[in-house]
Amino acid sequence: METASPAAPADPAAGAPDWRAILDRLAQRHSCRDFDGSKIDREILAEIVRDGTEAPSSCNLQNWHFIIVTDQERKLRARDISGGNLHFADCSALIFLCFQKGWTHGNFSIAQSVAGAAYHMILSAHLRGFQCIWNAGIGDHGQLRDLLGLPPIFEVQAALAIGRAKPTAPDMKAPRRPFAEVHSWQRFERPAICRYPVKPAKAYPFYRIRNDDNPFAEWNPARWSWDQIGDFRGYAVWAKSPLAGVYVSRRQGAATEVELDLLPDLAPGARLLEVMPWGGTYSVALRQRLDREVELHLAELSEHNLSFILERFRQEALATDRVQASLMRGGILPYPDASMDGVVLAQILEHCPEPEKLLDETRRVLKPGGVLVVSARNLWSRYGWRWARVESRAQIPNQGPFRPIPAPRLRGWLKARFEIDAEIGIGRETVEDAAVLRGRGRFFCRLYAARCVRG
């Protein structure tokens, strides 16, 4: 007797004959942030939006409204309002997802309804051969209301960008968590690695939690395990595509180059290690300035960061033949003793649960005479004050939790293990400037940075 496959449709006669092929095709969808600027016919855009309206809605009220923006000037304005979503300029259309306020708000059911319709539109666009991305990062709602002529009783939640990918756009899907991590049967179960620490509280009402005001956010990396930090950083890096120039922060300004100016010349064949490069902003700057024959080693807590950075290198047209990416577990550097000529710890110690252990490891892998270039955000600075008063009240950033380190404390850690060869403070302001201070003022800059030698 034949037994039905457990994965077959409920009623094989009623199921679409090519259901497996359709689901496989849908699973290939991934976000695009690099469009070619071409137009899509108005009729096709309307069909995609109409497909979305086949989605279920709470009480069948269909209290959604979709504004399709194709006009280039409006798209440019929407890009500027959004702040970071530069792909708004080159997509064929933006579909603003709106809803009428006043009905079915319990359990966000109006938002759930709009979300269902939005994903249906994305899948429709995908099956038709277009690329898409969902964007909650739309910027200031007041400015958007003016742009879209949206009445106060309607809310705008997000925008879908639809278009055709540039031939060179990354063709990579962001990694998915192992299925076992994200589901359980009958009762809640979830591994500790992906249950992140929060401040202890009796309850965590969602209405108290905002991006810029999260009273439960645990910024102290010492309260996270290495594995939890790696897990968080590894998925969050994919919040953007690995495109050229991604994650160059406004806070940094010209400071990155000043930090890396501390590096000595490294001879061809030398081995330089960058620890915890996250999205690869320093890795790119290093590869650009190092001799082509210098080996660049990258050690991260998650494979996902490493695949992201290697694709970013390709997008930046940088050679990867002398780049080696390795996984680092539990704060242990995966290299033999005395195997590196240089190590770069660029604003990373403040992200570590055990920063002194990482410095011990750094000393272990450096050759005698090898050089450490280290920098850290400084608590004893205007930036540190802002971090304590404003930044650390918000949600944890995608790079993971961190706490600026008082410059004298870091100096003490370095002196206990290395000879300090040069030390500077970088940046008087909270963002952007890269003023270099060498006297006592070095202890009060945004960044404290040093070049150390292993004795």
Ligand X SMILES: Cc1cc2nc3c(=O)[nH]c(=O)nc-3n(C[C@H](O)[C@H](O)[C@H](O)COP(=O)(O)O)c2cc1C
Distance set, CA 421 to CA 24, 340, 446 (Å)? 57, 18, 20
Q: How far is the CB of 214 from ligand X (least distance, A)?
A: 17
Q: How far is the CB of 12 from ligand X (least distance, A)?
A: 30
- Which stretches of 334-442 are assigned E, i.e. beta strand? 340-346, 366-377, 419-426, 436-437
Q: How far is the CB of 135 from ligand X (least distance, A)?
A: 4
Q: How far is the CB of 22 from ligand X (least distance, A)?
A: 18
Give the dihedral of Cα atoms 157, 163, 167, 168; nearest 10 deg: -20
Query: Is residue 259 within 8 Å of 285, Cβ to Cβ?
Result: no
Q: How far is the CB of 166 from ligand X (least distance, A)?
A: 16
Q: How far is the CB of 227 from ligand X (least distance, A)?
A: 21
Looking at beta carbons only, is 98 or 348 nearer to ligand X?
A: 98
Query: Is residue 405 within 8 Å of 345, Cβ to Cβ?
Result: no
Looking at beta carbons only, is 135 or 256 nearer to ligand X?
A: 135
Q: How far is the CB of 112 from ligand X (least distance, A)?
A: 12
Taking Cα atoms as reference points, which of 364, 316, 322, 366 lies closest to residue 344?
366
Looking at beta carbons only, is 135 or 381 nearer to ligand X?
A: 135
Q: How far is the CB of 323 from ligand X (least distance, A)?
A: 24
Q: How many Cβ atoms from other residues are within 10 Å of residue 7's Cβ?
A: 6
* Most distant CA atoms of the chain, gap in Å: 86
Looking at beta carbons only, is 8 or 22 nearer to ligand X?
A: 22
- Alpha-carbon distance of 431 to 389, in angstroms, equals 15
Looking at beta carbons only, is 147 or 436 nearer to ligand X?
A: 147
Looking at beta carbons only, is 91 or 426 nearer to ligand X?
A: 91
- Alpha-carbon distance of 196 to 213, in angstroms, equals 18
3-state secondary structure 35-60: ECCCCCCHHHHHHHHHHHCCCCCHHH
Looking at beta carbons only, is 81 or 323 nearer to ligand X?
A: 81
Applying CB under 6 A, which residues contact ligand X?
A: 30-31, 33, 85, 133-137, 158, 173-174, 238-240
Q: Which residue minimizes CB distance to ligand X?
A: 137
Q: How far is the CB of 449 from ligand X (least distance, A)?
A: 31
Helices marked H in 261-369: 281-289, 303-315, 355-365
- Alpha-carbon distance of 162 to 31, in angstroms, equals 10
Looking at beta carbons only, is 139 or 425 nearer to ligand X?
A: 139
Distance set, CA 328 to CA 15, 301, 332, 334 (Å)? 46, 5, 6, 6
- Which stretches of 242-327 are assigned E, i.e. beta strand? 271-275, 295-300, 323-327
Q: How far is the CB of 246 from ligand X (least distance, A)?
A: 10
- Alpha-carbon distance of 49 to 127, in angstroms, equals 13
Looking at beta carbons only, is 136 or 180 nearer to ligand X?
A: 136
Q: How far is the CB of 232 from ligand X (least distance, A)?
A: 14
Looking at beta carbons only, is 30 or 364 nearer to ligand X?
A: 30
End-to-end CA distance of the chain: 76
- Alpha-carbon distance of 431 to 250, in angstroms, equals 7
Looking at beta carbons only, is 26 or 201 nearer to ligand X?
A: 26
- Alpha-carbon distance of 326 to 342, in angstroms, equals 16
Distance set, CA 176 to CA 30, 116, 238, 262 (Å)? 11, 20, 10, 38
